[in-house]
Structure 1
Amino acid sequence: MSRGRPGHPAGSRASGHLRDPAEAERVEDAVLVRAAQAGEVTALGLLLERHRAGMRAVALSILGPGADADDVMQDAALTALRRIGDVRDPGAVGAWLRMIVRNAGRSLLRDTLATRPVDDLHLPSLDGAPEQWLERNALRDWIWAALEELSPTLRMPLVLRHFTTGVTSYEQIAGACGIPVGTVRSRLSQGRAKLAASLAATTDAAHGDVERRVRASRIEARETLSAAESGHFGKLLAERWSPEIGLLRGNDRVGGRDLLVRSMDGDIEAGVRQRLVHAVAGRSLVVWEMDILNPADDPEHCPPTVAWLMSLDGAGRVHRLRLFHPRPVQAINLLPVM
């Protein structure tokens, strides 16, 4: 006579769940993933804790013990936070987390290879487009609310590293911020630790609509480029940007509105155009990543890409602007183009 429950023969899959530890773990993982996807922060924390040992083993196998492995673990936690909504097989989240660590570790190795040109460095495709993180992830508004709690010196490297598409290597971030590579690593480590604390502190707070801000920022970028092409760049700056706007190279102020207008007008007259490819928009920091289209008779007039790194004042106007070329043209020694 069967010892199973009525309607469930002995040895059925239903009872197997209770006796198979691996299957039970998959079920528990699936429950936690669905809760995390619904916005339950505690569930994500439990997932990371359950799989911490396996994730760390992967980090150590690639990088060995030390600060690099710790950095990769922190990076992986942030990536999981951004992308938990992308998990398609909740029961296999452990493998997904380990893959994130593996790709982050390999990316870090590429970043630190001194013999390899910075221009050849790329983030792994696993992490997807940061645009998707901001627009599709249910936790995006909460992440940005926490980022806004950081100091500007910690916020900028984190946003460049995790949310842009072309200013992601340590060397590029160092060039954009005007700081040594070692300082980039230190600020990223401090920023991730403070972000974790800020996330915990802002769990129940009201969060802004990041998707709306990004859409508005894209419109603003296209209107800015259109104004420049029609000869009204100076008028747009006067109307929308801070009267105290400063153009920075690294941490040094090299000019203000007049220099910006002259530079932009000169590039437009030379036949240079820009095309928006990606936007990142917070309350205090906005990044526009542009492709630069040079005239056919002067294909190296400007570097092929430029990132506008804009700090906003309390009224939401651009107050400080850094222009950074992730892939500079050899031997160009001109003021970065608009």
Structure 2
Amino acid sequence: MRDAVEAARVEDATLTRAAQAGDIAALGLLLERHRAGMRAVALSILGPGADADDVMQDAALTALRRIADVRDPGAVGAWLRMIVRNAGRSLLRGAVAAQPVDELHLQSPEDGPEQWLERSAVRDWVWEALEELSPLLRMPLVLRHFTTGVTSYEQIARACGVPVGTVRSRLSLGRAKLTAALAATADAAHGDAEQRVLASRIEARETLAAAESGHFGKLLTERWSPEIALLSGPDRVGGWDLLVRSMDNDVEEGVRQRLIHAVAGRSLTVWEMDIINPADNPEHCPPGVAWLMTLDDAGRVQHLRLAHSRPVQLMDLLPAACYVMDATSKE
């Protein structure tokens, strides 16, 4: 019996090291080896049903992006079950089951060069595969797994202008397509996702600075697509004029935004902001907003959706930008 356990540990360790080196087939074998144990944990917390299935799917994607974090490759089974356990408990507490992908710009003191390179390589590989998905599947996956504040099914549904059931089905199909895309792009050259994020953070701060100095319109003209459209679900609710007028009104009334998180791909960028209201009107805007931006072939913002941390009625939108930014929540 002891020999069998030790042999299993050795096989787990071999597969884990291969997965950390970027072998998607090895990761698939690991997940299959430990699927029964992972599912048992999910069922013990959530019972049978869609929630347990969702947690299992989320755990697989979490394992993909965090496999480089495994310190004891022989104990990867316990690590996988821990991911499921934490996700299930988070779901019961009302939080999102999946944790967002961080930007990996801070290196742990315990990480050596090999771990750092592995982690960066996996991140770049995941983003390359995400770019292979259709926009309809890419947006929910990015929101679910890469952002910090637009992660629940209800929030994603409001941002995308679709029912919650559609979000679930798109996430399920998107994960399946992502698995295939990962296999297809394993040997391809991968772009540097970290550099895109760093450049995007700079651009976000420059955009906010331009707004505060009264040059928001000038910046949009220079950097964003001339076809810029503010979308609510699939519908266009405004363009350059509405965005500039609304942002200028907000700044004049003392509202400020502060970048807290950025996600940046070649075709999709997300800026998550804290909103700082004026002291004499602390309820002027909801506390946070996410700018969901799809980019054209030149890398310019072409479509903008904005999602607040709590919904706002459409009749309250004008003229303030913080209200316009929640047009996405009125579907």
Q: What TM-score bracket applies, with the shorter chain setting the length?
A: 0.7 to 0.9
Does structure 2 conserve the Cα–Cα contact (< 8 Å) formed by 1:134 and 1:140?
A: no
Q: Which position in structure 1 is the counterpart of 2:21? A: 38
Q: Which position in structure 2 is the counterpart of 1:297? A: 280
Does structure 2 conserve the Cα–Cα contact (< 8 Å) formed by 1:246 and 1:320?
A: yes
Q: Shift in Å at residue 134 of structure 1?
A: 11
Cα 1:282–1:290 shift into 2, 3 Å = same
Residue number among 66, 74, 95 corresponding to 1:122 in the alignment: 95
Asked if residue 94 in structure 1 is aligned to residue 77 in structure 2, the reply is yes
Letter in 2 for 1:185: R
Q: Which position in structure 1 is the counterpart of 2:37? A: 54
SS at 1:310's partner residue?
A: strand
C-alpha distance in 1 between matches for 2:202 and 2:70: 31
Q: Shift in Å at residue 313 of structure 1?
A: 0.7
Q: Shift in Å at residue 133 of structure 1?
A: 9.4
Q: Which position in structure 1 is the counterpart of 2:198? A: 215
C-alpha distance in 1 between matches for 2:262 and 2:190: 19
1:313-332 to structure 2, matched below 5 A, reads 313-328=296-311
| Higher mean C-alpha deviation, range 326-335 or range 143-152 | 326-335
- Of structures 1 and 2, the one scoring higher in RCO (CA 8 A, sep 6+) is 2
Cα 1:60–1:122 shift into 2, 3 Å = closer
Residue number among 293, 299, 311 corresponding to 2:294 in the alignment: 311
Does structure 2 conserve the Cα–Cα contact (< 8 Å) formed by 1:157 and 1:184?
A: yes
Does structure 2 conserve the Cα–Cα contact (< 8 Å) formed by 1:82 and 1:133?
A: no
Letter in 2 for 1:246: A
Measured against aligned partners, the alpha-carbon deviations of 1:186-235 in whole angstroms (never above 9, x if no partner) come to 11111111111111111111111111111110011001001111111000
SS at 2:316's partner residue?
A: coil
Q: Which position in structure 2 is the counterpart of 1:156? A: 139
User: Which consecutive residues of structure 2, in runs of 5 or more, have no partner in the other structure?
Assistant: 108-115, 326-331
C-alpha distance in 2 between matches for 1:329 and 1:180: 18
Q: Which position in structure 2 is the counterpart of 1:132? A: 104
Q: Which position in structure 2 is the counterpart of 1:5? A: none
RMSD: 2.3
Letter in 1 for 2:154: E
Asked if residue 267 in structure 1 is aligned to residue 250 in structure 2, the reply is yes
Q: Shift in Å at residue 59 of structure 1?
A: 2.2
Does structure 1 conserve the Cα–Cα contact (< 8 Å) formed by 2:103 and 2:194?
A: no
Measured against aligned partners, the alpha-carbon deviations of 1:24-80 in whole angstroms (never above 9, x if no partner) come to 222222222222222222322221122122112222323334444333222111110
Letter in 2 for 1:122: A
User: Which consecutive residues of structure 1, in runs of 5 or more, have no partner in the other structure?
Assistant: 1-17, 111-120
Q: Which position in structure 1 is the counterpart of 2:159? A: 176
Larger Rg over CA atoms:
1
Structure 2-normalised TM-score?
0.87
